[in-house]
Amino acid sequence: MPPASPSDYRRAGLDPVRLDLVPADSLAQGITLALAAKGAADAGLVDEALARGDVINPDTGPLQPGDPWVARVWIHRPIPDECHWPLTVLDRGPGWVAIDKPAGLACTPQGSFVARSVLVQARRQIGDLSPVHRLDRATSGVLLLAEPMARAELGRCFARGQVEKIYELIAPLGEEKMEVSAPAGEPGRERPARTRFSLLDARGGYGRYEARPEGGRFHQIRQHAAKAGIPIVGDGRYGRGPAAPDRIELLARELRLIRAKCGEEIRLTSQQRLSLPL
């Protein structure tokens, strides 16, 4: 038999997560100490998790209270934000589905946002899918999801820059055309990138811009928009004014790619629109 995988124990759209245990006198104590190191420990909750079968030995299956200590387990995280977010499917093809992600929904579980994520909602509503790329929780628009057998192939298209992505954003009015070539990405991991901005229309001191990024770095458009003097409305991290954690005025409008393996062309357009302030 092949070895077990976390997906064998998937529950409510979520796989259990790996937890390496520190040496302890008992299984429950080891789990409690390991969770404490992650800032999430409660001995009572650990006992309840064991009683429910939420703690799994990868080699033998669910563990029970009183079982001996092991070095590694899989554990189901509690889901404090049980919710339902209807997903709009834009298109689908062999091994993939595209959705029109709403702002406020994270791509993958993070922090307290567990069920409030595309990964969990897609698995509950559509099937065994995972995001191929990422959009920030506060960003809306086209998001490509893939089944396990297609995810690596589609992911390589993004890693190799073989995907055309077009965004729209709302920002204080600036020049009609701008280009920013500057490192972008997570602090300490910035890499060269370029983004071209074009003004689509304007009203009341604000403009609706089209953004075409090259490079696909973390927060690239947000960072480059700020450098261009057109910080995105709602983006308190790189711009000015109040932050809007659940929504910034940034829309992933279009996505285009050709699958190298089969030649399939994927062209996707969001049904959402950004509106200039009145």
Among all residues, which ones are annotated catalytic?
A: 136
Are 163 and 213 contacting, i.e. CB atoms less than 8 angstroms apart?
Answer: no
Nearest CA to 259 among 159, 153, 131? Answer: 153
Q: Residue 107: CB partners within 8 Å, gap ≥ 6? A: 101, 117, 118, 119, 131, 134, 135, 137, 143
Both structure tokens of 95: 């091994």
Amino acid occupying residue 136: D
Tell me how far CA of residue 85 lies from CA of 90, 107, 117, 122, 253, in angstroms.
Answer: 16, 12, 9, 9, 20
Nearest to 247 by CA among 106, 138, 102, 107: 138
Angstrom distance (rounded) from CA 171 to CA 277: 10
Helices and strands in the chain, H and E counts: 5, 14
